[in-house]
Structure 1
């Protein structure tokens, strides 16, 4: 009778030990798989990317010092990105920043010294700066909740937050809008 208890206990201990080892192996596999998912599947030094619409018209160009793509989330991290947004094959907006994330080729999140300038010959010369900007590339909407500063030769405007309808060149400031205008002398 005692032998049966000992054999049963030893068998139970063997099963528990086997399951523990199997769980550790499964955990190790999960950790390895997780780390693999977090590694970039490609890294590009000196990225130059162009996107076209269905009719073959150039709609955007993205250049960056370095781009690292992470497939698990379909995010591309960009160093020193420069973006040209086009309309009718002509550059409409130029945008630069220190860092960026291109998320699923649809949203572009720019951070650090973001500068936006209109590139049409009919546009007034001005620049818009902020610390972060989220651009929906499909809807052509740029948005931030950060402080925004717009400067031209004769004017300066600051605000907290804004939304730009890029295709319509329409800007909506969210709050605390302050402006200063100094007319040019004749």
Structure 2
């Protein structure tokens, strides 16, 4: 009887030990990665850039900017870019949910991207796309996403786009569909 009682106590003790060891959550050690942290953050950004003649060239407004020096890019939330022509007559408003800029030149916009002409006409007013790439210096745009656009007398859509904002020349790549609107 003593041996049976002693055996039961030993089994209970060993069971308790292993139950406590296995029931404890393992410690998770999170390592700090300085590359993944923004070097600086700016809230409510508003930036204007002028050309050599003192004319307004570009304007950028964003809810937040995060700059990553080691990764060589800058991230923007709710950006609005305004690009002015050399004559200061035509400008474009480009807005999106977020964007990333590389090398102070290559811009990638994502989420409800809109390209809006400052002076809408019968041929072009607003371009809608989910993702857009832009060369800021050459002011060229491209995408492989679905494209929808509206104007005073025209609606068009397609898959993929190449365009130049300075020359106002745009080319839909695939599955082009256009509707000419007759208004009284």
TM-score (norm 2): 0.76
* Alignment partners' CA distance in 2, 1:38 and 1:143: 29
Residue 37 of structure 1 aligns to a residue whose secondary structure is helix
Query: Which residue, out of 52, 55, 61, partners 2:53?
Result: 55
Residue 115 of structure 1 aligns to a residue whose secondary structure is strand
Q: How does 1:169-184 map to 2 (within 5 A)?
A: 169-184=168-183
* Alignment partners' CA distance in 1, 2:165 and 2:81: 13
Change in CA separation of 1:56 and 1:73 when aligned onto 2, cut-off 3 Å? farther
How many residue pairs get matched?
Answer: 152
Residue 141 of structure 2 aligns to a residue whose secondary structure is strand
Residue 40 of structure 1 aligns to a residue whose secondary structure is coil
* Alignment partners' CA distance in 2, 1:54 and 1:154: 38
Change in CA separation of 1:180 and 1:64 when aligned onto 2, cut-off 3 Å? same
> Does 2:69 correspond to 1:71?
yes
Do 1:84 and 1:91's aligned partners in 2 also have CA atoms closer than 8 Å?
no
- What stretches of structure 1 move > 6 A for 4+ residues in a row? none
* Alignment partners' CA distance in 1, 2:62 and 2:90: 18
Q: How does 1:5-84 map to 2 (within 5 A)?
A: 35-84=33-82
Change in CA separation of 1:119 and 1:165 when aligned onto 2, cut-off 3 Å? same
Q: Deviations over 1:1-25 (max 9, x none)?
A: xxxxxxxxxxxxxxxxxxxxxxxxx
5+ residue gaps, structure 2: 1-30
Deviation at 1:57, TM superposition (A): 2.8
* Alignment partners' CA distance in 2, 1:173 and 1:142: 12
TM-score (norm 1): 0.75
Q: Which has the higher helix share?
A: 1
* Alignment partners' CA distance in 2, 1:153 and 1:87: 22
Q: How does 1:139-178 map to 2 (within 5 A)?
A: 139-178=138-177
Residue 137 of structure 2 aligns to a residue whose secondary structure is coil
Residue matched to 1:106: 105
Residue 184 of structure 1 aligns to a residue whose secondary structure is coil
* Alignment partners' CA distance in 2, 1:51 and 1:80: 19
Deviation at 1:118, TM superposition (A): 0.7
* Alignment partners' CA distance in 1, 2:51 and 2:41: 25
- RMSD over aligned Cα, in angstroms? 1.8
Asked which structure has the greater CA Rg, the reply is 2
